[in-house]
Amino acid sequence: MSGQIDAFGNLATAALAAREFDRGPLHDPGAPGLCANCEAPVAGRYCANCGQPAHVHRSVLHVVEEFLHGLTHFDGKAWKTLPLLLFRPGKLTYDYVHGKRARYVPPVALFLLSVFMMFFAFSFVEGPPDMQLDTPVVVNGTPAERAKLRTDADSAFAELEQELAAARADPKRADDVAGLEIAVRAGKSAQAAAHRVSDGKSLITDDDKSKLSIEGAAKMLRDADKRGELGLNTGSKAVNERIRHALDNPELTIYKVQSKAYKFSFLLVPLSLPVLWLMFIFRRRVYLYDHTVFALYSLSFMSVVVIAASTMFALGYRGALYAPLLLLVPPLHMFAQLKGAYQLSVFGAGWRAIVLATAAVITLAFFAVLIALLGVVD
């Protein structure tokens, strides 16, 4: 619940940020006189000197109106920008770089809003699905055959226990004890599984399900660390303690990681620029500004893809669309955007899309590791 409250707070911030970056006309005719901001003469709804609306509202209702306007309308520009972002990203980038900007949402504003919306969507994703773990296993055969399955498993486990007892009693077989102990533990699990299958129950027990959760995984790691099996030694006692604290508080750690990812998402823009610059290093009349606009719009689209996948997941969809949505759509979008934004041939856009997609995977991996470390050690 607290995560969803935070998400609504982020959404509100997004609306206000979008409003500040992309102000549109107020629904007031204004009044002649002096501009309240720069005191220049005003004739019309806007100041010709600084661009501020002639009429300045001072009502609480207008604050609400600005919030709703920034959240839902984007002054009408979103409805011109989003279709191009989704289906003609090259034209959107090319138009904006070459001066056709008034009709579109600025790339920085769109990037900020899409990132906010992405984390808002994340708040409704509760975690991995149960993957039908409670579905009973259908066992063919007669009751006698199912009983034989249980008996065979019991016999096999009994033989393992006898073998282990014999090895422990024989000093000459001391080297075999460790291996047999492992075999007995595995045999016990196999015996329990055979019992559940013969009874038509799920192979996954309630204890197994708890281990599949984040808290269960953290507990397993904590227990392994206490037994000295984790080998946690970063060379810094303070860092080791931070990691142990993270394992003791997995939900808090996840919240901190998400918060860090949200705060430092802007780093994805400068991290993307070197590859774009290198790919066009010998191309004239292509500037760093062009690459920045390209990166902002591209990252905005990737956020939209993640929002779509998160929404599908939150609504309970567990189909096969995730793989093409997350693996095929992004590089195809990169190809279309490269081809249109830089006026490239199919071959020129193709090889650059492959390079850019590869670099994007590496960049995201580096960013994820960085954010995870910041979330754990902070």
Enclosing H/E stretch for 34: strand 33-34
> pLDDT at position 62, please?
60
pLDDT in tens, 115-139: 888 888 777 665 544 444 444 444 5
What are the φ/ψ torsions at residue 46 (nearest 5 degrees)? -135, 155
Mean pLDDT of the region 324-351: 92
Q: Report the pLDDT averaged over residues 318-326.
A: 77
Domain edges within the chain: 14-22+77-133+214-378, 24-73, 136-203
Q: At what angle do helices 250-263 and 346-377 cross, to 10 degrees?
A: 130
Which of the two residues, 29 and 8, has the higher pLDDT score? 8
Q: Which residues neighbour 262 within 8 Å (Cβ) at sequence distance 6 or greater?
A: 10, 115, 116, 119
Looking at residue 13, its pLDDT comes to 52
Mean pLDDT, rounded, of the chain? 76
- Position 101 scores a pLDDT of 87
| Distances in whole angstroms, Cα of residue 347 to Cα of each of 88, 254, 339, 354 | 18, 42, 9, 11
- Range scoring the smallest mean pLDDT among 13-22, 92-101, 189-198, 306-315: 13-22
pLDDT at 296: 94
Residue with tokens 């920045």: 292
> Over the stretch 150-203, which tens digit does the pLDDT of each residue have?
788 788 878 888 888 888 888 888 888 787 788 878 777 777 777 776 776 655
- Residue 81, phi-psi category: left (phi > 0), alpha (psi -120 to 50), beta (remainder): alpha
CB-based contact 193:203 (threshold 8 Å): yes
pLDDT tens digits, one per residue of 37-58: 888 888 877 888 887 777 766 5
Between 222 and 348, the higher pLDDT residue: 348
pLDDT above 70 coverage of the chain, percent: 68
Residue 74 has a pLDDT of 53
| Residue 309 banded pLDDT, cuts 50, 70, 90 | confident
In whole angstroms, give the CA distance from residue 241 to residue 377: 9
pLDDT tens for each residue of 253-302: 777 777 888 888 888 999 999 999 999 998 888 999 999 999 999 999 99
- pLDDT at residue 377, as a whole number: 73
**Residue among 333, 249, 269 nearest 112 (CA):** 269
> What pLDDT does residue 14 have?
55
Burial profile 271-305: b = 16 or more Cβ within 10 angstroms, e = fewer = bbeebbeebbeeeeebeeebbbbbbbbbbbbbbbb
Share above pLDDT 90 across residues of the chain, in percent, rounded to a whole number: 23
The answer to whether 167 and 176 are in contact (CB under 8 A) is yes
Rounded Cα gap, residues 339 and 86, in angstroms? 15
pLDDT band (50, 70, 90) for residue 319:
confident
Q: Which residue has the higher pLDDT, 27 or 332?
A: 332
Q: Give the model confidence (pLDDT) of 218-267 as tens digits.
A: 666 666 666 665 666 666 677 667 777 777 777 777 777 778 888 888 88
